[in-house]
Amino acid sequence: MEVLFYIAATVTVLATLRVITHVHPVHALLYLVVALIALALIFYLLGAQFAAALEIIIYGGAIMVLFIFVVMLLGPLAAEQERTWLTPGAWLGPSILALVLLGEVGYLIAVGDHTALTVSEPRQKGISIALYGPYIIAVELASMLLLPGLIGAYHLGRRMSKESRSC
Amino acid sequence: MLSTPALVLAIVLFGLGLIGLLSRRNILYMLLSLEIMLNAAALAFIAGGARWGQVDGEIMFLFILTLAAAEVSVALGIVLQLSHRFRTVDADALCELRG
């Protein structure tokens, strides 16, 4: 488990380094997706399976799709990168890092001695009970945060007409 | 026990995100760096929860996830407005207040 953790940590740090040093937004997003998946594997190794699943579904799925939509919508500002998307340089690095992670997952499945790491029902039940017990105020606060987020995203995201742009 | 190296990894990731936030001027990369820093904080919470065997770490991860989703939707709306009005994604273009 230690070796798996250190490999995943190396993948995370390398991918993050490429995110903050890359000039093409789509390439940086690919590397960030790999970093998030590696982080999900680290969460799994730390025993937080629920968090690992959420990391992949929400971070690697939903939030990254939002970013990719915005990069597409930026249009001419990001259009000059379109020609380079299909070159091997775009996907070779993320693919190699993702293959390392795939090898780790395959090893985890093949070894089969991870009984201590299987999804423990009492732990998931404990999360649910704590979430709607002592943390109920925080859940309400999260809902109060998400509604202004929705309204703000709608307000900021619509395309302003010419006459309303002046105000 | 993996929580100590996980905390070190969280520190490294947070530092990388901070460096990216301070060094890049493209607002999209600044948002990506913010996501990296939020992830580092989440990793610290998960490591703490794993260290003490409590579920609070994962619950704080849920809230960080909610915060990141709300933040990123609003911030990407701001990026779109910026690109429509100023035809740039450079954060330094917003200097009308002379800040």
Per-residue model confidence as pLDDT tens digits over B3-12: 888 999 999 9
**Greater confidence, A96 or B99?**
A96
Give the number of domains in chain A.
Answer: 2
User: Does one domain contain both A84 and A14?
Assistant: yes
* A120 → chain B, closest CA residue: B55
Whether A81 is covered by a domain: the verdict is: yes
What pLDDT is recorded for position A95? Answer: 84
Choose the closest CB to B66 out of A43, A142, A160.
Answer: A142
User: Mean pLDDT in chain B?
Assistant: 87
Q: Which residues of A touch B3 (CB under 8 A)?
A: 46
The pLDDT value given to residue A110? 81
- Asked whether the predicted pLDDT for residue B60 surpasses 80, the reply is yes
- Answer yes or no: do A105 and A129 share one domain: no
Spatial neighbors of B20 by CB under 8 A, at least 6 apart, are A19, A20, B29, B30, B32, B33, B36
Whether residue A76 is found in the same domain as residue A130? no
Domain chopping of chain B, boundaries: 3-85
Quote the CA–CA distance of A75 and A1 in Å, as a whole number. 44
The answer to whether residue B15 neighbours chain A at the CB level (below 8 Å) is no
CATH: 1.10.287.3510, 1.10.10.10, 3.30.70.100, 3.60.20.10. Which one for B3-85? 1.10.287.3510
- Same structural domain, A41 and A110: yes
Query: Which residues from chain A sit within 8 angstroms of residue B69, using beta carbons?
Result: 58, 62-63, 146, 149
Q: A58 to chain B: which residues are within 8 Å by CB?
A: 65, 69
Structural domain boundaries, residue A152: 120-160
B16 neighbourhood in chain A, CB within 8 Å: 13, 16-17, 20
**Once rounded to an integer, what is the mean pLDDT over residues B64-85?**
88
Give the model's pLDDT for residue A163. 47
Output the CA–CA distances (angstroms, integers) from residue A9 to A143, B21, B57, B78, B87, in the order listed. Answer: 33, 21, 19, 33, 38
Residues A150 and A82 in one domain: no
A132 within a domain of the structure (yes/no): yes
Name residues of chain A where pLDDT drops below 50: 79, 163, 166-167
Complex prediction ipTM: 0.89
pLDDT tens-digit readout, A36-73: 999 999 998 888 888 899 999 998 888 888 888 888 88
First to last CA, chain A: 59
Token pair in block for residue A26: 């789509």
